[in-house]
Amino acid sequence: MTEANDKTPVGGGSVAAPDERVKPEAIKAIPVRHYGRWVSSVVVLFLLAAIVLAFSRGQIEWSVVGEYINDGTVIRGAWATLQLTLYAMLIGVVLGMVLAVMRLSQNPVLRNVAWGYIWFFRGTPVLVQLFLWFNLSLVFTYVDLGPIYKNEMTDVMTPFMAALLGLGLNEAAYMAEIGRAGIQSVDRGQTEAAHALGMSPAKTTRRIVLPQAMRVIIPPTGNEFINMLKTSSLAYVIGFSELFLVSREVGSVNLAVMELLIVVTIWYLILTTIFSIGQYYLERHFARGSDRALPPTPLQKIRANVLSFRRQAGPGGVGA
């Protein structure tokens, strides 16, 4: 240190040319020890170990869990859950965006109809809505669309249809609000610039406003997707054979209630994890242009985390 200092000109004398200047010695300080971090880690790990131990000793036949995790009936239930979720979200997203545009429209009729829709569907429990759809045959015996289509309501309103409509229409109300927030987040200047170039209002919405709104819309939509995966289990009350219902049935028939509940839990986690990963890449795609650099992918993040952990743990830490 002193040696380096001696060679660095200090005030008074002439300023040394850059190449003559000696780079000061790199700092080698003893890092702050985070004792709290270590203590809290130990406590949390201990609690986790206790939980794992408890479950391994509980009266759970883990082999049964393993047996039913890829049971045909269970997988068909998972598939039904996935389909119901995708279709309900499709209805929710498309109808939601239409409602969002309606709510921001200049036309007072469209605006108020959209408002009323959102008011109704957000204001009632989705469980009640499911029963309402399922029991529609109590008040309408036929679905009669004149010469195009006519059928008995009980034939049309299968458990799947009722679940799809109940979940999808309810979701549209939430997606409408998400869409509205997204559209309103886009700067007015963008619309003006597009109009000034001669773009029609419809093109402006489609090419300029919606792609930018997406950046705001996608993250909460991902959450809605994951919520829908879980909420779709409510469809069991109207007898739709999704993941939860089939697992209840398989579990009670085989006297393995807890085992099947664990199977269900694992399946929901698998599905939600897949969706989370998809959401991440979608967000990355729509973030283009918003930052100077794109956010790292999970792999890049893991690598960076490992590196920074090594660095933190470096001197005096656990062997890396």
Partner 1 sequence: MTSLSKQPMVKAEAVHKSFGLIEVLKGIDLEVQQGEVFCLVGPSGSGKSTFLRCINHLEKINAGRLYVDGQLVGYRQKGDKLYELKEREVADQRKDIGMVFQRFNLFPHMTALQNVMEAPMQVKGESKANARERAAKLLERVGLGDRKGNYPAQLSGGQQQRVAIARALAMDPKLMLFDEPTSALDPELVGEVLDVMRDLAESGMTMVVVTHEMGFAREVGDSLVFMDGGVVVESGHPRDVLSNPQHDRTKAFLANVL
List the structure tokens of 178. 């998400």
Cα separation, 253 vs 141, whole angstroms = 36
Cα separation, 30 vs 136, whole angstroms = 73
Report the residue number, 273 or 290, with the smaller CB distance to partner 1. 290
H or E segment to which residue 150 belongs: strand 150-152
Report the residue number, 23 or 292, with the smaller CB distance to partner 1. 292
Among 76, 111, 195, 284, binds partner 1 (CB under 8 A): 195
Angle between helices 72-103 and 210-231 (to 10 degrees): 140
* Least Cβ distance, residue 197 to partner 1 (angstroms): 4
- Please, what's the largest Cα pairwise distance for the chain? 101
User: What secondary structure, in 3-state letters, does 174-218 show?
Assistant: HHHHHHHHHHHCCCHHHHHHHHHCCCCHHHHHHHHHHHHHHHHHH
Part in contact with partner 1 (CB under 8 A); list of ranges 6-14, 43-51, 77-85, 196-204: 196-204
Contacts (CB under 8 A) with partner 1, residues 251-310: 286, 288-292
Beta bridge partners of 142: 152
43 Cβ neighbours under 8 A, 6+ residues apart:
none
Report the residue number, 41 or 200, with the smaller CB distance to partner 1. 200
* Least Cβ distance, residue 208 to partner 1 (angstroms): 6
Cα separation, 114 vs 103, whole angstroms = 6
**Residue 248 binds to partner 1 (criterion: CB under 8 A):** no
Report the residue number, 103 or 215, with the smaller CB distance to partner 1. 215
* Least Cβ distance, residue 10 to partner 1 (angstroms): 34
Report the residue number, 203 or 248, with the smaller CB distance to partner 1. 203
Report the residue number, 180 or 215, with the smaller CB distance to partner 1. 215
**Residue 28 binds to partner 1 (criterion: CB under 8 A):** no
User: Total residues at the site for partner 1 (CB under 8 A)?
Assistant: 25
* Least Cβ distance, residue 290 to partner 1 (angstroms): 6
Among 112, 124, 190, 297, binds partner 1 (CB under 8 A): 190
281: amino acid identity, one letter: Y
Among 31, 116, 125, 211, binds partner 1 (CB under 8 A): 211
Among 165, 208, 246, 262, binds partner 1 (CB under 8 A): 208
List the structure tokens of 190. 């963008």
* Least Cβ distance, residue 280 to partner 1 (angstroms): 19
Report the residue number, 198 or 319, with the smaller CB distance to partner 1. 198
Q: For residue 143, give the 3-state DSSP assignment.
A: strand
**Residue 201 binds to partner 1 (criterion: CB under 8 A):** yes
* Least Cβ distance, residue 284 to partner 1 (angstroms): 13
Burial class (CB in 10 A: 0-12, 13-18, 19+), 272: middle
32: amino acid identity, one letter: V
**Residue 316 binds to partner 1 (criterion: CB under 8 A):** no
Report the residue number, 64 or 208, with the smaller CB distance to partner 1. 208
* Least Cβ distance, residue 289 to partner 1 (angstroms): 4
Unique residue bearing structure tokens 């004398």:
13
> How many CA atoms does the CB half-sphere of 226 hold within 13 Å?
16
**Phi, psi (deg, nearest 5) at residue 237:** -70, -20
**Residue 152 binds to partner 1 (criterion: CB under 8 A):** no
Cα separation, 285 vs 296, whole angstroms = 12
Residues of the shown chain interacting with partner 1 in the complex, contacts defined by CB under 8 A: 187, 189-190, 192-201, 203, 207-208, 211-212, 215, 286, 288-292
